[in-house]
Chain A
């Protein structure tokens, strides 16, 4: 339903900090991220002394606690970092592309496609292991996003409004079909329960590495189109007048964001609000400059994800709350507060 809020996000009239302050802010964000990475390795459901953590990371000693750090905390921290970067950047891309500050990658049908593909894999094809799911999810996300784009494009090119509306509809239809499959197949239902709550736990790094090249390509594409996207924010006509090639810019941005969001969803399942909120906050800090928004999103999104994950580990010890659930609880109040601010309608 994010599609409802289709607002022009005009060029910032608000006070925008100068380059030096932006850079300073970026350094602060980086420091925060590093601190959170360290905390994510230090804090968990079992109490492990810092010296043991050090031991586990930098020496090759074998012990149950050392294995716990190397096998579980380190991988989930890395996964959190990777997924966070991907979600943040894909959110920034789609908000720039649709000129809609409330868009998130989910509206292109990324989550719907991934969940549907996983349900088919589990329910009809009998796939059971996480590696198997993941490629289905990635393929599902990519195919559905491309389908949405194909349906939403006309001979004259693609308009963000049509794309977003198509995404909502395709998402709803696939959602219904998925539910039907799950209700008639208890095995699929059972296996799918966790998929609906995004989580960064228990994803073996071997299944994460193959997705990284896709992310790298997407990262390069994203920064390559950041200039044209700036111009695009002023409206299609102005952008064309400035020499922006609309179709090429859009296609590249869409490829980048699909790879990022699809990969992140494939690894972690649907995680709400990170892609929506972080770019929003980034724009708040740096104003309408895509390159800066991208840079901030890349640092802030994994921070939000890691904070949520750490919270999820400690509030219900010794069991944990999946990070996707925590992000919604952290994110929704912030969204409501944002929209209640004075210039709410302009956002």
Chain B
């Protein structure tokens, strides 16, 4: 491995790692930013493990983690707090990457999988399972995934007219989402209070009661999908410059776009299955990541780290700072929406 000053001037310091024939060109600032973010994530994770309404000393937490404690203390630390922290971390990263993929794909800083109706569709699926079929939790997850995917496919097909064009996809997405939103409102209207609140709590996105099982299965899916996203990141960057430009670089635009949509939706779907829809992370994380790393286009790694940090911190706030424990999704909406508003606002003002 050797660092090496490149001939091409990228306009910023670039780190090139070479090992045999594989060369990874890393932007120096990105690397530093990601490292700092990783430290922040670790710090927040430790804090989350230490905090809870069941009073535990750091020593107790440590001994529980090392397996020297059993009983309720072990349960609280290892079975309750730890999977929740792990879930926030992994799911947050998945959402960040999912958003980055969509923003790059649609060349629009406000895009996320919700754009193609995924969120509303999965909520419709979940509502139907809860309110109409009165199904179990597993069925609920199945219904949500089915609903989300079916909606995404429907939007894609409806927007398809000699290829899919970003603008048309967005508009069709808005239309279909609005329709499903209406249907959801009506379903909630027809339900009784217990069922409606159960559905609404799911719809808000919550990490309460996340188990190791969910973290491990979800984490495995997410790992595979992140790998795929990494492999697709090159055509993704080239497509940011325009379909024609990408095609001239040898990218097969249509299949690449479809693959990216699939990966983006699948990442969100996995998180939705485990925790319900956690809003706004997929929208905000890539934005923050891009600004911190000061990259021109959307990049995946900073988005993943910011997503993890955002999700972890929001869940901490939701559990320990809010007057009553809240679903994490509500905090992410307020935090994310506020921050995004601030960013857009300052940026637009600068442009004027």
Contacts and interface: CB of A to CB of B under 8 A. Distances in A.
| A contacting B, Cβ–Cβ less than 8 Å | yes
Interface of A: 1-5, 7, 102, 151-152, 154, 156, 159, 161-162, 165-166, 168-170, 172-173, 175-177, 179-180, 182-184, 186, 189-190, 193-194, 196-197, 272-273, 321-322, 324-325, 328-329, 331-333, 335-336, 339-340, 344-345
Contacts of A335: 171, 174-175
Contact of B186 (A175, A321, A345): A321
A273 B178 contact: yes
Interface stretch (B8-16, B67-75, B344-352): B344-352
B179 A332 contact: yes
B110 A3 contact: yes
Nearest to B194: A186
Interface string B161-179: 1000101101111111111
The DSSP consensus for interface residues of chain B is helix
8 contacts: A102-B171, A172-B280, A172-B336, A172-B337, A189-B197, A197-B186, A339-B168, A344-B168
Contacts of B146: none
Closest 9 CB pairs of A and B: A176-B333, A169-B341, A172-B337, A328-B182, A332-B179, A173-B337, A335-B175, A176-B334, A332-B175
A278 B345 CA distance: 30
Interface in B71-87: none
A173 B341 contact: yes
A79 to B, nearest CB: 19
Contacts of B280: 172
Nearest to A197: B185
A7 B248 CA distance: 27
B186 A322 contact: yes
Given A176-B334, A184-B326, A339-B168, A328 B110 contact: no
Given A169-B340, A332-B179, A159 B352 contact: yes
B181 A328 contact: yes
A121 B323 CA distance: 19
B188 interface: yes
B108 interface: yes
A91 to B, nearest CB: 14
Which of A4, A190, A197, A344 has the largest count of B CB atoms less than 10 A from its CB?
A4
Contact of B111 (A4, A162, A182): A4
Interface of B: 108, 110-111, 114-115, 158-159, 161, 165, 167-168, 170-179, 181-183, 185-186, 188-189, 193, 196-197, 200-201, 204, 279-280, 322-324, 326-327, 330-334, 336-338, 340-341, 344-345, 348-349, 352
Given A168-B110, A180-B330, A183-B330, 12 more contacts: A1-B110, A162-B345, A169-B341, A172-B333, A173-B341, A179-B200, A179-B333, A180-B326, A186-B197, A324-B185, A329-B179, A340-B161
Given A169-B344, A340-B158, A345 B167 contact: yes
Contacts of A328: 178-179, 181-182
Contacts of A273: 178
B170 A173 contact: no
Interface centre among A321, A324, A340 (most CB of B within 10 A): A340
B111 A176 contact: no
A322 B175 contact: no
Nearest to A158: B352
Contacts of A344: 161, 165, 167-168
Contacts of A345: 165, 167-168
Nearest to B106: A4
Contacts of B185: 196-197, 324-325
A165 B344 contact: yes
B193 A2 contact: no
B330 A329 contact: no
Contact of A194 (B114, B189, B201, B349): B189
B337 A169 contact: yes
A239 B253 CA distance: 41
B178 A332 contact: yes
Contacts of B108: 4
A1 B170 contact: yes
Contacts of B341: 151, 165-166, 169-170, 172-173
A1 B119 CA distance: 13
A331 B333 CA distance: 28
Contacts of B170: 1, 4-5
Given A184-B324, A184-B326, A193-B196, A339 B171 contact: yes
Contacts of B167: 5, 7, 344-345
Q: Give the interface centre of A159, A180, A186 by most chain B CB atoms within 10 Å.
A: A180
Given A4-B170, A170-B341, A325 B176 contact: no
Contact of A154 (B175, B188, B324, B352): B352
Contacts of A159: 348, 352
Contacts of B174: 1-2, 4-5, 102, 335
B326 A183 contact: yes
Contacts of A170: 337, 341
Contacts of B197: 183, 186, 189
Contacts of B182: 197, 272, 324-325, 328-329
A307 B165 CA distance: 33
A230 B179 CA distance: 32
B168 A173 contact: no
B237 to A, nearest CB: 22
B85 to A, nearest CB: 22
B334 A173 contact: yes
A194 B179 CA distance: 17
Nearest to A321: B186
Most buried by A among B114, B189, B280: B189
B186 A179 contact: no
A141 B115 CA distance: 25
B348 A161 contact: yes
A166 B114 CA distance: 19
B338 A177 contact: no
B204 A325 contact: no
Contacts of B172: 336, 339-340
Which of B179, B188, B340, B349 lies at the interface centre, i.e. has the most chain A CB atoms within 10 A of its CB?
A: B179
Contacts of B340: 169, 172
Contacts of A175: 333, 337
B164 to A, nearest CB: 12
